Structure 1
Amino acid sequence: MSTIHRGVALVTGASSGIGRATATALAKAGYRVFGASRRPSLDGLAGVTMLPCDVTDDASVSRLVAEVVGEAGRVDLLINNAGIGLLGGAEESSIAQAQRLFDINVFGVMRVTNAVLPIMRRQGSGRIVNMSSVLGLIPAPFNALYAATKHAIEGYSESLDHELRAQGIRVVLVEPAYTRTSFEDNLVKPDQTLDIYDAGRASLSVVMRKAMETGDMPEIVAEAVLKAATAVRPRHRYPAGKMAGQVSFLRRFVPESAFDKSLRKQNGLPA
């Protein structure tokens, strides 16, 4: 049986969680995979070359892409997965903290994308998969700033896809719901907490912890990424897992008042 060679893939945030599962799945599917992380795992991943990269630093991103192209000669698939979360009331974060979140979750995606696009354009082909979230579709109390970054990625990605399609490049979104990773443990805390939000913040933290315990495995999201990466005629959005699919459907078809009531109930907020 011959080996399938799908091309060269670059995955940011590949040292753990969804990124690690995605890099592994792509390698198994026949891609030559390069994984990027601020601190690449020492134990490595089978079939994945790990490289250092800070997506908030232009020079670091440039070095990463140059190294991948120097070794592999091309980039066929980019998975923008690197990101962080922040749990707290919107006004509990300073503008500097909000800017830091956007620098990683939004401008980090733009930096890596801009570095890869000239290569894909020379090739006349390429696929970019941006990791969004169901929180890019719905409101997220005590996750307002994180949700804002994902809403931004949604608008950026769909618009960019229209700009690049004539160049043979497609941009698509993958939207996970709660996923069993260390994401919840690594949430950034607000830098100027207010007593008025203590109860709500603590309540939502419990809701998130319980949801993570029963959430999808990272491999479910990796399957959605692989589907988005290999589809001949890709859709704009790929919900990852049963809950994500349900949320996407409900957001489109349930009346706004009913959705609002359900969301408050699910997040433990008073009616």
Structure 2
Amino acid sequence: MADPRGLVVAITGGARGIGAATAATLAEAGATVAIGDIDGEAAAATAAELPGAIGLPLDVTDAESHQRFLDAVAQRLGAVDVLVANAGVMWVGRFEDEPVTATRRMFAVNVEGVINGMRLATPAMRKRGRGQIVVVASVASRLAPRGEASYAATKHAVLGYCTAVRQELHRSGVDVSVLMPTVVETDLAAGTSSGIVKRLPPRHVADAVLSLVRRPRPELYLPKHVGVSIRFLDLVPARLRGFCQRLLVVDQTSSDPGTREDYQRRSLE
């Protein structure tokens, strides 16, 4: 079990929502936090509220930007012990209505952003013989809600990538953890439905990240009982599984596009 006190933790997409809550939670636990975000000013403002934290501009889709971020963190705070890959975007609606630009943006941020971070952060961790990557994914890594076809595809890709990398890092001292929450109360979820599951406050996700830092595990569902439901669905025959998913998993094709207009314009165009 790792003590977060004294660890250097870099968080992508950390200026708002889950990232900001995670930064606050880890800072309270004694970690030294670096916040990276496409909105550099917002990252700096969030960091200013936390002891010893720094906020820097970061475009996770740009490998050079990601390298500059990691280098700056190492120079100012010390070697990165934990990278929390949190940055993500989501377009919601019928798959045939999804703009090509939105599809490309989701894959760039949600998949390439994670790959860039893991590829650039792990060599130094492996050399030191210790470190951790915590990827904030989604329960959509295992389920595929109607109205989130491309988003679910990106999260499935992230889970597969992390599973393979974890095997490559076996016995290296570097852990890879994937956190899969249900719908969280953030701008990303604006205008969507959480179905029969209550929306999670960002602080609950942040607490789960902290628990993974303290006790690394390959995968963690939030709430935990969701993992039980998914394992049950894995055992159900394919045709019945589709029926169960339609019954249990919310249909996002009926989400309110007006409520999401501002978020999608800022994040996906």
TM-score normalised per structure 1: 0.81
The one of 224, 239, 257 aligned to 2:208: 224
Q: How does 1:57-76 map to 2 (within 5 A)?
A: 57-76=62-81
Counterpart CA distance in 1 for 2:129 and 2:162 is 19
Corresponding position: 1:45 with 2:45: no
Q: CA separation of 1:6/1:255 partners in 2, compared to 1, >3 Å: closer, same or farther?
A: farther
Structure 2's unaligned 5+ residue stretches are: 253-269
Q: CA separation of 1:209/1:140 partners in 2, compared to 1, >3 Å: closer, same or farther?
A: closer
- SS of aligned partner of 1:166: coil
Runs of 4+ in 1 over 6 A off after TM superposition: none
Letter in 2 for 1:122: K
Letter in 2 for 1:263: Q
Corresponding position: 1:240 with 2:222: yes
- Residues 119-174 of structure 1: per-residue CA shift (max 9 Å, x gap): 21222110001111111101221100000000000000011011012321111100
Counterpart CA distance in 1 for 2:115 and 2:23 is 20
Pairwise CA distance, 1:55:
0.7
Partner of 2:247: 265
Partner of 1:108: 113
The alignment-based identity, stated in percent, is 31
Corresponding position: 1:155 with 2:139: no
Q: How does 1:1-271 map to 2 (within 5 A)?
A: 5-40=5-40, 41=42, 42=45, 44-47=48-51, 48-185=53-190, 208-209=192-193, 211=195, 214-231=198-215, 234-241=216-223, 244-266=226-248, 267=250
Structure 1's unaligned 5+ residue stretches are: 186-204
Equivalenced residue count is 244
Counterpart CA distance in 1 for 2:217 and 2:87 is 22
Q: For the aligned residues, what is the CA RMSD? A: 2.4
Counterpart CA distance in 2 for 1:268 and 1:96 is 23
Counterpart CA distance in 2 for 1:95 and 1:182 is 21
Counterpart CA distance in 1 for 2:22 and 2:179 is 12
Partner of 2:264: none
Counterpart CA distance in 1 for 2:221 and 2:213 is 14
TM-score normalised per structure 2: 0.82
Counterpart CA distance in 1 for 2:233 and 2:121 is 33
Residue 180 of structure 1 contacts residue 213 of structure 1 at CA under 8 Å; is this kept in 2? no
Larger radius of gyration: 1
Letter in 1 for 2:65: S
Residue 134 of structure 1 contacts residue 248 of structure 1 at CA under 8 Å; is this kept in 2? no
* More divergent stretch after superposition (117-126 vs 173-182): 117-126
- Residues 9-50 of structure 1: per-residue CA shift (max 9 Å, x gap): 001111111111111111111211111111142353323321
Residue 250 of structure 1 contacts residue 259 of structure 1 at CA under 8 Å; is this kept in 2? no
Residue 147 of structure 2 contacts residue 251 of structure 2 at CA under 8 Å; is this kept in 1? no
Pairwise CA distance, 1:94:
4.6
